[in-house]
Amino acid sequence: MVTRLQRILLLRALGLGLPDIARVLRRDQDEQAALTAHLDVLRDERARLDRRITAVETTIRKRKGGETPMAEEMFDGFDHTAYKDEVTERWGADAYARGDAWWRGLSAAERDAFQRESTTLAQAGATAAESGADPAGVEAAALAERHVAWLRSIPGTPANVSGGVAGYLRGLGDMYVADPRFGRHYATADGGDAGARFIRDALHAWADARE
């Protein structure tokens, strides 16, 4: 039992996903093959990260020079396909397929607008948290409504169905706090996760008010 646990912890520390670990333990997949495939994913991710760093550096340089960077430059390396397995596991293959088709069908300007709204919502949540706004208040309700509208712009998300929206929003809000990636996206000026927690509470309050 101890050896099995140590093996799980080692594979997890190497970044192998739980489904792959389960297949290795069941002997449905060779450990070396699983790690080799994972290494390919890590190398692809490193390449995307390098492009993302370049995109951020380009944006900063052009902003300082008074130039307006092109959308392709700003978002090069921000590859949504990196999250295919995660989205499929959480919401199903159809949700990913519809969202992927929608994203690929957008123009550069439309992608730019979507990303800008994401950033604006994050900044608004952080600002509201820093100001001590009530997550169940009028300001938070308006922000939650805008957040829901942004989610509903993506085909395939549960936000687009008539039933179960409240549960989806609560789960999503909880994920914003539990997942450090969202904590960084909604971070306040001090680098804390107060912005993510404010958005979570605002989405919970929005859902409560509609049940």
Which is more confident, 204 or 95?
204
- What are the Cα distances from residue 57, in Å, to 44, 75, 78, 122, 184? 20, 12, 14, 21, 19
**Mean pLDDT across the chain, nearest whole number?**
77
Task: Assign 199 a pLDDT band (cuts: 50, 70, 90).
Answer: very high
Please check whether residue 207 is in contact with residue 166, taking contact to mean a CB–CB distance below 8 angstroms: yes
Share of the chain above pLDDT 70, in %: 74
Residue indicated by tokens 């509201």: 128
Residues 6+ apart with CB under 8 A from 171: none
Per-residue pLDDT of 51-110, as tens digits, reads 667 767 766 776 677 654 444 444 444 455 555 676 667 667 776 777 777 777 878 778
Mean pLDDT comparison of 78-82, 108-112, 114-118, 194-198, highest-scoring range: 194-198
Helix/strand/coil (H/E/C) assignment for every residue in 53-113:
HHHHHHHHHHHHCCCCCCHHHHHCCCCHHHHHHHHHHHHCHHHHHHHHHHHHHCCHHHHHH
Verdict on whether the full-model pTM lies above 0.85: no
Which is more confident, 156 or 207?
207
The two structure tokens encoding residue 193: 């996760």
